[in-house]
């Protein structure tokens, strides 16, 4: 009976023939699926946002935020996870972007996919800023003031009423509408981005298969891979639910802690006091964390126009045109060292400026401080990247890489990194921060270069046959199966407790934690199912 029903659907929906990219076995790793994580965060945020939209009243922003948190059943669970869904989306979008930057995914023929992605990142930051403004607390109001001030000094003050409407009079209708419009735009661009990336070009083959652009599988070749249904579906489900689990657990657990001021922009999901309350006077205002870097760069000497050019326009324009500057067909990061170097610096500067903005918000900086903070990472990473010999890397890190000088250098970097970390923790100054980040990145690069060699050395010793490998795999699958059963058993008492959690008040956020754990379990079940059913002993990169 069940079979007949499923066959009925099978015949009509015919999932095997969906035109999505067919995926080779070796691509079922999260590194190849970062876009799915961003999309998962996006959809979570949209769904939770629509629930909030049922209650939010733009005529009384702060009041209705408070009502949602305190009066609506599980309102705080939805609101806080909406915030952290957006956070997750921003972080994952950055990770997705930088990963694709370093593997050279912006190269031919994926230029448009890349440009759409960069535009979506900009829209995401914009939509997040507007969403943050909707809270209407003292932080949101001051963030909007700063934003309006920046627009004003760029000569764009006519944009302020277009974006924010009557915000200063307490009417958030326009901000709410703009927030939704930007999100809708993201959704639209996402469709094109996904269509091109998945259906048109397919996922990028491993560098071992294709180390030059255009890195695409010919359609005839990709027909051999796994169809979307059911394997990709199952893998995707595991990623979605794991992402949703973290989005729910983190904010709803953080609610029960209090943080020192420097951690507040990152870890405190609760709104600050309203701007017209006496308590507002004592609040240190700061922008949302994803704009801390802009906030710090605005403290640089020079006009606002110069600062914003540095903070926003140059990086944005660079990212938009990088497919047209970097025209070499090579994909390996060390075959395009300048771009790799710029990418690493962008990452470092982003983190550095954000942390600096958090530690010293609004404190003007001098030229010498700027050099002190931003020059060392440039020099250290530059030296590191340009001194790594390509020949040795390209030969799959032959023994030459692990000769005594290299090992000595690695030991030195490791020790220097460790001591700089201690130095940073004890002094907490900007110079120490700069040192620890740049030494850390060198350490990561070297470690990554050396580990494959070390790992392979181990593997070679006990070279395993396919037969042996499948035996080991079968053992692992048995363990996975047991874990699946245990997780199922764990899930049941969690659900039972969820039915007893009050919908409002202090304990209501535990519902969010529990639901998050449940999502994690479900995601893990999908992941284990995928492992047991589909994992092959040898998944060669074809």
Partner 1 sequence: MPLRFRLNGRDKQILESTDLAFLYKLVRVMKNPKTKFNEVDFVTKGEDYLFNYVNNNVGGVDEGRRNFLKGILIGVAVTTVAGIVPGLRVLIPPVQSVSGFPKTLILDSSGNPIKASTLPVNSPIIMVFPYPLQNEINFLLNLGDENGNPVEVPPTTVVVPQTGDKYQFPGGVGPNKSIVAYSAICQHLGCTPPYIHFYPPKYVNISQVTAPEPNKLTVQAVQAAKSAKVPAIIHCDCHGSTYDPYHGAAVLTGPTVRPLPTIVLEWDSSTDYLYAIGAVGVPTYPMSSNGVPSNDPSADLDESQFGASVGDKTEISETNPFSS
Under the rule (CB under 8 A), what is the footprint of partner 1? 10, 16, 51, 54-55, 67, 71-75, 77-78, 223-224, 467, 481, 484-485, 487-488, 491-492, 494-495, 498-499, 501, 503-504, 511, 514-515, 518-519, 521-522, 525-526, 529, 532-533
Q: At its nearest, how many Å lie between partner 1 and the CB of residue 51?
A: 6
Task: Return the SS3 of 330.
Answer: strand
Q: Least Å distance between CB 222 and partner 1?
A: 12
Q: Which residues contact 448 (CB under 8 A, 6 or more apart)?
A: none
Burial class (CB in 10 A: 0-12, 13-18, 19+), 283: middle
Shortest distance, position 86 Cβ to partner 1, whole Å: 18
Taking the complex as a whole, the smallest distance from the CB of residue 518 to partner 1 amounts, in Å, to 5
Q: Looking at beta carbons only, is 67 or 432 nearer to partner 1?
A: 67
Closest to 179 measured CA to CA, from 43, 46, 37: 46
Nearer to partner 1, 7 or 366 (CB): 7
CB 333 within 8 A of CB 449: no
| Assigned token pair, 28 | 């079922």
Minimum CB–partner distance for residue 519 and partner 1 (Å)? 7
Q: How far is the CB of 78 from partner 1 (least distance, A)?
A: 6
DSSP 174-208: HHHHHHHHHHHHHHHHHHHHHIIIIIIS-SPPPTT
Our CB check for partner 1 shows the closer of 84 and 286 to be 84
Contact 79, 69 (CB under 8 A): yes
- Give 161 or 505: the residue with its C-beta nearer to partner 1: 505
Q: How far is the CB of 200 from partner 1 (least distance, A)?
A: 22
Distance CA 531, CA 234 (A): 10
Separation of alpha carbons 427 and 452, rounded Å: 35
CB of 208 to partner 1, least distance (A): 23
For residue 413, say if its preceding peptide bond is cis, omega within 30 degrees of 0: no
To the nearest 10°, the Cα dihedral for 286, 290, 296, 302? Answer: -120
- Complex with partner 1: residue 2 or 31, whichever CB lies closer: 2
Looking at the Cβ atoms of 54 and 444, the one nearer to partner 1 is 54
The residue among 180 and 498 lying less far from partner 1, judged by its C-beta, is 498
| Neighbouring C-beta atoms of residue 540, cutoff 10 Å | 11
CB closer to partner 1 out of 143 and 513: 513
Quickly count: other Cβ atoms within 10 Å of residue 536's Cβ: 12
Q: Which is nearer to partner 1, 153 or 504 (CB)?
A: 504
Q: In the bound complex, what is the minimum distance in angstroms from residue 467's beta carbon to partner 1?
A: 8
Within a 13 Å sphere around the CA of 329, how many CA atoms are in the beta-carbon half?
7
In angstroms, the CA 65 to CA 61 distance is: 6
Q: Rounded CA gap, 132 and 139, in Å?
A: 9
489's tokens: 């058993």
CB nearer to partner 1: pick between 80 and 190: 80
Q: Which is nearer to partner 1, 26 or 529 (CB)?
A: 529
Assigned token pair, 76: 């705080």
DSSP states of 31-79: GGGHHHHHHHHHHHHHHHHHHHHTT--GGGHHHHHHHHHHTSTTHHHHH
Q: How far is the CB of 48 from partner 1 (least distance, A)?
A: 10
In the complex, least distance from residue 528 CB atom to partner 1, rounded to whole angstroms: 8
206: left (phi over 0), alpha (psi -120 to 50) or beta: beta
CA distances from 138 to 49, 62, 111, 256, 278 (A): 22, 9, 41, 22, 11
DSSP letter, residue 481: H
Q: How far is the CA of 99 from the CAs of 193, 285, 289, 332, 457, in angstroms?
A: 16, 33, 22, 12, 27
CB of 78 or CB of 373, closer to partner 1: 78
Give the shortest CB-521-to-partner 1 separation in angstroms: 6
Partners of 356 in the β-ladder: none
- Minimum CB–partner distance for residue 126 and partner 1 (Å): 27
CB closer to partner 1 out of 244 and 286: 244
How many whole angstroms separate alpha carbon 435 and alpha carbon 356? 14
């Amino acid at each position: 009976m069940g079979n007949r029903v499923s066959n009925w659907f099978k015949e009509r929906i015919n999932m095997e023939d969906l035109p999505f990219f067919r995926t080779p076995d070796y691509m079922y790793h999260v590194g190849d699926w970062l876009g799915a994580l961003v999309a998962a965060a996006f959809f979570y945020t949209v769904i939770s946002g629509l629930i909030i939209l049922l209650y939010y009243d733009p005529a009384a922003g702060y009041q209705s935020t408070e009502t949602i948190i305190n009066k609506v059943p599980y309102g705080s669970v939805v609101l806080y996870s909406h915030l952290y869904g957006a956070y997750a989306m921003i972080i994952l979008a950055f990770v997705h972007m930088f990963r694709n930057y370093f593997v050279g995914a912006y190269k031919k023929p994926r230029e448009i996919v890349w440009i759409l992605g960069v535009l979506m990142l900009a829209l995401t930051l914009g939509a997040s800023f507007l969403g943050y403004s909707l809270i209407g607390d003292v932080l949101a109001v001051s963030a909007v003031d700063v934003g309006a001030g920046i627009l004003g000094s760029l000569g764009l003050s006519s944009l302020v009423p277009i974006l924010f409407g009557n915000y200063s009079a307490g009417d958030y209708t326009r901000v709410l509408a703009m927030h939704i419009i930007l999100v809708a735009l993201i959704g639209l661009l996402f469709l094109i981005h996904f269509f091109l990336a998945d259906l048109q070009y397919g996922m990028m083959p491993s560098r071992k298969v294709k180390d030059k652009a255009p890195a695409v599988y010919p359609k005839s070749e990709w027909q051999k891979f796994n169809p979307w249904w059911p394997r990709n579906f199952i893998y995707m489900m595991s990623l979605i639910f794991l992402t949703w689990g973290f989005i729910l657990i983190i904010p709803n657990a953080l609610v029960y802690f209090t943080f020192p001021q420097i951690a507040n922009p990152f870890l405190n999901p609760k709104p600050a006091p309203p701007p017209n309350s006496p308590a507002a006077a004592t609040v240190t205002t700061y922008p949302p964390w994803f704009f801390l870097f802009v906030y710090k760069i605005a403290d640089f000497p020079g006009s606002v126009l110069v600062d914003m050019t540095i903070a926003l326009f140059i990086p944005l324009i660079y990212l938009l045109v990088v497919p047209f500057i970097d025209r070499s067909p090579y994909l390996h990061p060390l075959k395009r060292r300048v771009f790799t170097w710029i990418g690493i610096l962008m990452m470092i500067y982003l983190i550095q400026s954000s942390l600096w903005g958090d530690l010293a918000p609004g404190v003007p900086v001098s030229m010498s401080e700027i050099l002190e903070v931003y020059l060392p990472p440039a020099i250290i990473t530059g030296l590191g990247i340009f001194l790594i010999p390509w020949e040795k890397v390209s030969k799959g890190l032959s023994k030459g890489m692990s000769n005594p000088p290299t090992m000595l250098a690695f030991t030195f970097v490791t020790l220097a990194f460790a001591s700089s970390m201690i130095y940073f923790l004890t002094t907490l100054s900007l110079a120490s921060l700069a040192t620890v980040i740049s030494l850390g990145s060198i350490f990561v690069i070297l470690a990554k270069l050396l580990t494959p060699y070390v790992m392979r050395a181990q593997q070679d010793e006990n070279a395993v046959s396919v037969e042996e490998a499948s035996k080991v795999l079968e053992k692992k699958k048995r363990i996975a199966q047991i874990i699946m059963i245990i997780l199922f058993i764990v899930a049941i008492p969690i659900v039972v407790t969820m039915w007893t959690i009050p919908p409002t008040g202090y304990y209501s956020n535990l519902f969010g934690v529990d639901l998050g754990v449940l999502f994690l379990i479900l995601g893990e079940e999908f992941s284990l199912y995928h492992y047991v059913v589909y994992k092959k002993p040898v998944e060669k990169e074809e």
